[in-house]
Chain A
Amino acid sequence: MTFSVASVLRRRWRGPKYLLAIPAIIWYLVFFAAPIAFIVLYSFGTKDSSRLVPVDLGSLSTKSYSAVFDETFFKTFRATLRISVLATFLCVVIGLPVAYFAAFKVAEKWKAIILAAVVVPSFTSFLIRTVAWRIPLAPNGTLSKWLVGMGWISDNGIQILETPMAVQIAIVYNYLGFMILPLFVALDRIDVRMREASKDLGAGRVATFMGVTLPLAGPGIVAGVLLTFIPMCGDYVTATVLGGAKGNMIGAMIASQFSGAQNWPLGSAMAILMIAAVLLALVVGFVVVWIAPRLAALASPVVQVVRRKILSDQSPASK
């Protein structure tokens, strides 16, 4: 009896390996694929306010898609893209030094403290953190009055709330943590010996960073960009709370189609087009990032031949 139990325990798992993925697959089917399928379906319906779900699927049409293609949608979309691209860039620029510092420059126990400092703000709700920006930025607020008192800004006080600038500032703040964490993980995993080898072989600080550290951190940067850029494009809390009429983003526009206008087909069509456009933007972005170093590599033999030629021309005596 004992023997048989042991043999069962010892027996290797022989089921198909994908069974391990089943919980994730079910989760994504129910909570991701199915809702997206509904959105696609709704986007081909027509608006019918008399129904509980105000979409008539009786006669499918592409009317909503053609309605999306007007100037205001594109302007709002362009503003969204501009805010998101700039914010992602700022997140890299601000996040990279923090992650680099935490990964290489401090003792082990300080790493945990720095990471905690990055993570702790997200214990507070996203909405509260966004609303909190209204306090320092208020035109009648203490900071504003102090700046006016010092004569650094005009008497009208800080005029940032209800503008795209407010959205830009807060969105960087809201997503910075999602950039720093993957960057830190990537940098922290780099074998210190690689960097030492680089220095031993004569590379300076900058050359080591550009030639060794940065390429090895590439996956972290990619992860960080994905984790910040995509949610930023869909973010509507920041724009709704701080953007006023001028800082509108596409997420808020889609939300208003569903809740305000009760035009689910139009909202759905906008959502689908936005998903497509964000994917396109990412593909273009990565193609550029992928091609650039390869073009440089392609060009490098030429460069070296030229450089050797110049060097030999300059110092014929050494030959």
Chain B
Amino acid sequence: MYTWGDYNDPDLVGALAGSTLNVTMKVDYYASNEDLITKLAASAGSSGFDIVVPTGPYIPQMIEKGLIQKLDKTLIPNMINVDPNYLAQAWDPTNDYSVCKNWGTTGYFYDTTKISKELTTWQDFIDTCMGEASGNCSVIDAAPNYCGMWFWANKINWNTETKADLDACEKFLVEEFAQHIKAFDSYPSTKLAEGAYSIAMAWNGDARQAYVRIEEAGGNPADWKWVLGAPNTELWMDNYCVAAGAPNAEAAHAWINWDLIPEISIKDLSYHGYHTGMKNMSQLISEVAPDLVKGDMIFFGDEQVATMQTQVITPALDRLIDILNKSKAKAGADLA
């Protein structure tokens, strides 16, 4: 499986998969959908990966480039356990190629002992990174999220294709913001525990894992505060797909099907901290995992969900990637 960092309970991709399904999983990680697509495209069907986990809007181009194959739905009967709200999405209306793994959102996480101000919005995040936490902040290393931060703060839809918006975004992020960044880090949880950043942009599940890591490292998780991005933020859904040319397609189907069993799915959820889209979620949680920690970082109210925007792949994506790269060069070059 080629997936996002720390994205499954280690038992489920390790010993338990071996003992239950007789499947040995090997897991490799990427930091962005662009990385995933490059790796699959460069090896043209011989990457050796069976399962890949792209975010929804990237699925159509992966189908078009022949990077993923149709699912054999007869091998995934457990798809009926998935809440219909999370099936039949715009990118794959018939779920011929993909099935929901989980969905989540983006916000940030900060150390209240180092940052005195109460933060609530993306604008607060930007101001803090450029002020109190200058040189001590990290941002997600994926272009849409990085640029989205600025769009959301300025009440612009992050799917904008307007040249003026993109120009303004580039001007601000590259010339004013980049120099304050300590790292471009898609999975800051471990480094937060090391004490590397005092504020970090993060996906909700990763921020929740940071709580656990900080505690393990002897820190005090209560010092840290999670903020859901506002006024708007992201809603993304990652999906299990089977790579074209997968050497073990049957085992891949078997494993995906197994991960869609409600109890297994909740076990996974308890680890990675993302809503897995199972039917009757609240009932399941109270039955299977009543002592789940930090549920407020996994489940969001209708009002919160209403502020979340789904990404659309537009020609502007190239521009966003360009802005990220220019920012990286700028952030790194300033000391030279």
Contact = CB atoms under 8 A, between A and B. Distances in A.
Interface of A: 49, 52-54, 71-73, 75-76, 78-79, 82, 134, 138-141, 144, 157, 161-162, 164, 243-248, 253, 256-262
A174 to B, nearest CB: 19
B41 to A, nearest CB: 5
A139 B195 contact: yes
14 contacts: A52-B41, A52-B44, A139-B195, A140-B217, A162-B182, A244-B138, A244-B182, A245-B181, A246-B182, A246-B334, A248-B329, A256-B328, A260-B141, A261-B322
B38 to A, nearest CB: 5
Among B138, B218, B332, max chain A CB count under 10 A is at: B332
B219 A140 contact: yes
Contacts of A141: 194-195
Given A245-B182, A261-B322, A71 B333 contact: yes
Contacts of B141: 260
Interface in B27-46: 32, 34-35, 37-39, 41-42, 44
Interface residues of B, number: 42
B328 A262 contact: no
A161 B193 CA distance: 13
B336 A140 contact: no
A256 B324 CA distance: 10
B333 A72 contact: yes
Contacts of A144: 195
Given A76-B336, A244-B182, A247-B332, A261 B39 contact: no
B280 interface: no
Contacts of B34: 259-262
B184 interface: yes
B335 A258 contact: no
A10 B191 CA distance: 68
Interface in B285-336: 318, 321-322, 324-326, 328-336
Given A76-B332, A79-B333, A260 B194 contact: no
A244 B217 CA distance: 21
A79 B332 CA distance: 9
A262 B321 contact: yes
A125 B125 CA distance: 38
B196 interface: yes
Contact of A262 (B38, B191, B194, B324): B38
A246 B138 CA distance: 12
B50 to A, nearest CB: 20
Contacts of B217: 140
Given A49-B318, A75-B332, 8 more contacts: A52-B65, A139-B195, A141-B195, A144-B195, A162-B196, A244-B138, A245-B331, A248-B329
